[in-house]
Structure 1
């Protein structure tokens, strides 16, 4: 999450501001007073907000005490995006925003003398994708669900959707100041990818179709059915949503679906993008840059994670949870023949022969 304003200082402030300090007792009191909810609470991990899972007679909900460094207009943008999806894609498995007793979707609560904006959404039970069993069927379902989510968001506009966000693959060059946090073996490859992106890829993005996108479909934001471990039960966490080229959505999502250990490391990517394309046909100019976006998003993840881990060593295990997989995938991707990824993406989206 980052400020809607285009000021890098605002972005840095949010990325470096500690999450709100809220105890279980304080969260319980806020739940009862604000929503009339009672039940057991559990702390959930989060980089920038204080998050709690509440289970009670009225159901299960996630309470998010929002980082005070986040601009109010960005908070409203995220809430309104969820409400827009509820209206235009009611079948989609995404969280539903719970109104407070007085009707507000973003009530302000006081905790220990500090005022926090609170957003509470329905909890969608399951396990994260990284704990499930990968399959072609799962990838197809995930690609199809993301495409339908993008269709539901088509036409949604909000002033704060134009955000300065460090995680925006459309502005990957913004991570350059943090390259010093990379390991020596990582820096040459990451630097080369960023240079090629800035000079050869980014200028082409400005000509592509754009809309509000989820922008963070990593395996921790994909919830699978707990019983089977294969069925997509939910897409969660819209904290990085923004207005951007539509292909950026796939560049981010597919960067987490590369399988470095498989004989065909692109098998998940091909199943995913083919299913997405069946709902939202990708244009030739989008497919031409998608492979580059996948690679540069991997490079961004490696860089940002190590920078943030240096800021918050006590939370480094959470921040670095994807680092090893991201680096292994990036090295394997870079070792593929030139053009192999792009050719595979095009083939996966081609109409089947009769």
Structure 2
């Protein structure tokens, strides 16, 4: 097993809570007065159940990782309440209270309990097959960023490895990458981030962002043409807002045609939430940083939790292909393509 790492937050070093269906049913009954069929859903560090009641209603029952700070749970609740107020048309979950009126409650053996509305739709494929879906993802992400820009939160979230500004911390985890060639490429990318990218981040616009608009956190309509759901606000963080553009773009680019598809995505985001010149210039580096983060964190966590490896490693193949493609481009080739499309 890969050893614990000093720079890694406790939430990523602690397995999800052990909550079987029997306990989940008790939680639903005792805290929310609900009963029905339970289906466990995949999750990286929490435990999630879909609760289907006899009346046909569905809910998401969430039991947070025991190492999640209560301030972070509060932040997730506050963000969803803020979005309900300022952007009610955004398709995000709603907080649902306990029988005593609270939006989260402590679990006796660790972790905190929440209930959310259940959003219907199909998980997005990666990469999307057409420009319309790609633009819809960009539009949804930009609208969410705009809505979050008006939230003045005192707490900006814990240190998260998925937050691109922390990518220098990945260096201590690269031993988990099995391929020597890929490990070397990742390590060179981390060094490049520290030397060229990190010093430029202070000059960017900062705000609270979603942090993880990957395909497993986006739901699409039945015809696959538009986003109808934005899930999982468990990676919220205050960071340069362009990092969220990069995170989302890293899954939406078709790396068999990176210049065209990246330009389609970024131009759609820019139309809803305009990006500054400095943000356009740094975006290709941050997309590469996200791909490096996916490969490194997933490899490290899969080694620690082999029983959940299939879920943890689900995005690594595409991330590796994407990193190879970006490394083969000429310097500034992608940035120039983005600028040209925005003119």
d(CA) in 1 for partners of 2:230, 2:342: 23
d(CA) in 2 for partners of 1:191, 1:73: 33
Contact 2:128/2:134, CA 8 A, preserved across alignment: no
Q: Aligned to 2:325, which of 311, 326, 332?
A: 332
Unaligned 5+ segments in structure 1 are: 1-7
Q: Aligned to 1:276, which of 259, 269, 272?
A: 269
Q: Is 2:48 the counterpart of 1:55?
A: no
Cα displacement (A) at 1:160: 2.7
1:170-209 aligned at under 5 Å gives the runs 170-182=165-177, 183-209=179-205
Q: Aligned to 1:20, which of 17, 20, 24?
A: 17
User: In the alignment, what sits opposite 1:319?
Assistant: 312
1:228-243 aligned at under 5 Å gives the runs 228-243=223-238
Q: Is 2:127 the counterpart of 1:127?
A: no
d(CA) in 2 for partners of 1:347, 1:315: 43
Cα displacement (A) at 1:35: 1.3
User: In the alignment, what sits opposite 1:343?
Assistant: 336
User: In the alignment, what sits opposite 1:65?
Assistant: 63
1:13-162 aligned at under 5 Å gives the runs 13-56=10-53, 57=55, 59-110=57-108, 114-130=109-125, 134-162=129-157
Cα displacement (A) at 1:127: 1.5
**Bigger shift: residues 124-133 or 274-283:** 124-133
Cα 1:96–1:313, aligned 2, differ >3 Å: closer, same or farther?
same
d(CA) in 2 for partners of 1:188, 1:67: 33
d(CA) in 1 for partners of 2:200, 2:173: 25
d(CA) in 2 for partners of 1:293, 1:10: 20
Cα displacement (A) at 1:133: 5.2
User: In the alignment, what sits opposite 1:246?
Assistant: 241
Unaligned 5+ segments in structure 2 are: none
TM-score (norm 2): 0.94
Contact 1:205/1:245, CA 8 A, preserved across alignment: yes
Q: Deviations over 1:175-200 (max 9, x none)?
A: 01011112201022212221111111
d(CA) in 2 for partners of 1:39, 1:19: 23
* Aligned residue pairs, count: 337
Cα 1:327–1:347, aligned 2, differ >3 Å: closer, same or farther?
same
Contact 1:136/1:268, CA 8 A, preserved across alignment: yes
User: In the alignment, what sits opposite 1:4?
Assistant: none
Partner of 1:266, secondary structure, is helix
Partner of 2:203, secondary structure, is coil
d(CA) in 2 for partners of 1:131, 1:177: 29
CA RMSD after TM alignment: 1.7
Partner of 2:321, secondary structure, is helix
Point out 4+ residue stretches in structure 1 off by more than 6 angstroms: none
Q: Deviations over 1:2-59 (max 9, x none)?
A: xxxxxx8584321111111111121112112211222211001112111101112262
Contact 1:217/1:253, CA 8 A, preserved across alignment: yes
Q: Deviations over 1:107-154 (max 9, x none)?
A: 2243xxx14311111111111111795211111111111111111111
